[in-house]
Structure 1
Amino acid sequence: MKGFFIYQLLSYFRSLKWIPPVVVYFIWVFVFYTYQGVPILSSYSVTSVALVFISTWVTMGIFSLENESEKQLLFVQLSSKLRYLYGKWCICVLVITLLLIFAIFYPILIQAFKLPVKPIHFGLTLYGHFYSALSGIFVGSLFSATAFAQKKYSWLAAMLVNIIAVVSEGMIERFTILKWPLYLFPPIGKLTTYFQKGDEIVVENEGILFSLWAMIYIILSFVIATRLFLRKES
Structure 2
Amino acid sequence: MRALIVYQLKHYIRSYRYFPPLLLYIVSIVFIYGIVPNPVMESYSLTSAVLFLFSAWLGFSYIDSEHEIQQMIASSHAGNVVKYYLAKIVVGWLLPCLLAVLTTIYPVLLDKFDRQPDAAEFMVAMSGHLTVSLLGFVISVLFTSKWVPKLYMSTGGLLLTMALSIAGQGIERSLPHAWRGLAWLLPPAYKTIAMLSGYEAANGAEIALGLFLPLFYAFLGAVIFLRRMNRRLF
Query: With structure 2 as the length reference, what TM-score do the two structures score?
Result: 0.90
Task: State the partner residue of 2:228.
Answer: 228
Question: Which one is further off, 208-217 or 164-173?
Answer: 208-217
Q: Is there any run of 5+ residues in structure 1 with no aligned partner, and where? A: none
- Percentage of matched positions with identical amino acids: 24
Q: Please state whether the residue corresponding to 1:179 is helix, strand or coil.
A: helix
Count of residue correspondences: 232
Question: Which one is further off, 183-192 or 109-118?
Answer: 183-192
Rate the CA distance shift 1:55–1:213 in 2: closer, same or farther, 3 A.
closer
Q: Is there any run of 5+ residues in structure 2 with no aligned partner, and where? A: none
Does residue 1:113 correspond to 2:145, yes or no? Answer: no
CA deviation vs aligned residue, 1:214-233 (integer Å, no higher than 9, x gap) = 44333222222222222321
Rate the CA distance shift 1:162–1:5 in 2: closer, same or farther, 3 A.
same
Question: Over the residues paired in the alignment, what is the CA RMSD in angstroms?
Answer: 2.1
Give the C-alpha shift of residue 46 in structure 1.
1.0
Task: State the partner residue of 1:22.
Answer: 22
**What is the letter of the counterpart of residue 189 of structure 2?**
I
Give the C-alpha shift of residue 146 in structure 1.
5.2
Question: Which one is further off, 88-97 or 26-35?
Answer: 88-97
Task: State the partner residue of 1:85.
Answer: 85
State how far apart, in whole Å, the 1-side matches of 2:28 and 2:212 are.
30
Give the C-alpha shift of residue 211 in structure 1.
4.4
CA contact (8 A) 1:5 1:91 kept: yes
State how far apart, in whole Å, the 2-side matches of 1:211 and 1:19 are.
28
Alignment of 1:71-150 (within 5 A): 71-144=71-144, 147=147, 149-150=148-149
CA deviation vs aligned residue, 1:92-130 (integer Å, no higher than 9, x gap) = 121112211221111111101111111111111112101
Task: State the partner residue of 2:191.
Answer: 190
State how far apart, in whole Å, the 2-side matches of 1:206 and 1:46 are.
18
Query: With structure 1 as the length reference, what TM-score do the two structures score?
Result: 0.90
Question: Which one is further off, 53-62 or 149-158?
Answer: 149-158
State how far apart, in whole Å, the 1-side matches of 2:191 and 2:144 are.
26
Q: Please state whether the residue corresponding to 2:144 is helix, strand or coil.
A: coil
Task: State the partner residue of 2:62.
Answer: 62
Task: State the partner residue of 2:217.
Answer: 217
State how far apart, in whole Å, the 2-side matches of 1:169 and 1:124 are.
20
State how far apart, in whole Å, the 2-side matches of 1:87 and 1:224 are.
15
Give the C-alpha shift of residue 161 in structure 1.
0.5
CA contact (8 A) 1:57 1:140 kept: yes
Task: State the partner residue of 2:12.
Answer: 12
State how far apart, in whole Å, the 1-side matches of 2:208 and 2:30 are.
32
